[in-house]
Structure 1
Amino acid sequence: MRVKNSRMEVLKMLISSKDLGSQEEVLKALKSEGYTITQATLSRDLKQLKVAKAASMNGKYVYVLPNETMYKRVPSQQTAREMMQSSGFRSINFSGNMAVIKTRPGYASSIAYNIDNSNIPHILGTIAGDDTIFIVKGVGVSNDEVIEGLRHVLPNIEY
């Protein structure tokens, strides 16, 4: 079961990051990640994930995950395994007592949850979208103090 769960995560990552328009392309991408499966297994996986096809920006029909027909793809040179090992963090910017963290699509909610549950004293709270986290920091708290507090949640954070 662990192999299937791992394969499904890789499949979701591939669909989210690449323009894959046929099952043959998906099978090839999975094979490059170390998963050799049959077309029948792929069909079952796609059905289980409720994958659909939608027109991409260039007019080509590609696979998309549910509720992502307008999903902004993030082309990546990394393999799906490498993408899954990263925290999803992209950048952080400050303005007054606020900060905005940019993440890979789909990562903001889980990162914000981890921030809120880490009880970082310098952060009052977060609001998360799909790829953006809004942070409110406490009165008189420096940006460096926030960054230092976030290092427990985002070890690769840079400012």
Structure 2
Amino acid sequence: MKERQSRLKAIKTLIKNNTIESQDDLLALLLKEGYDVTQATLSRDLKLLKVGKVPDGQNGYKYALPGEDENGESEAIYVQDFLRGYVSIDFSGNTVVIKTFPGHANTVCNAIDNLNMDEVLGTVAGDNCMFACLREGVTGEQFMEKLKKHIPGIED
């Protein structure tokens, strides 16, 4: 069990200090650190650590550890939820309409709410569409600019 705790600590350190795009990359780094593990073991470790893939800002993805916020949830999880569920984004005035895959609107709404964007006054979800009401004076373009800071590579 001691070896597992040591390996988990090494995985966290490697993810924090490197841009890792795949399990193969992480396996190679672990091997350099003296940990000879299988892909299946690494998969279980990543699941246990709640490691997720987030956009790297350059049209790719990298592994990220959950960053604890006040709810113990990770922004990376919300980014994944958003990316997994949204189809398109459009806006008119201070209303943003985000179309989602069926059944994903609530999850996308929750992601927007938990990204703590000051621009958003509130959200409402249906089944395959959600609305976000922006604060007075905030434009759809400003909302998209801020959203792209949280979710690099998102398409308009």
- Same structural fold, with TM-score higher than 0.5 when normalized by the shorter chain: no
Q: What TM-score do the two structures reach when normalised by structure 1?
A: 0.42
Q: What TM-score do the two structures reach when normalised by structure 2?
A: 0.43
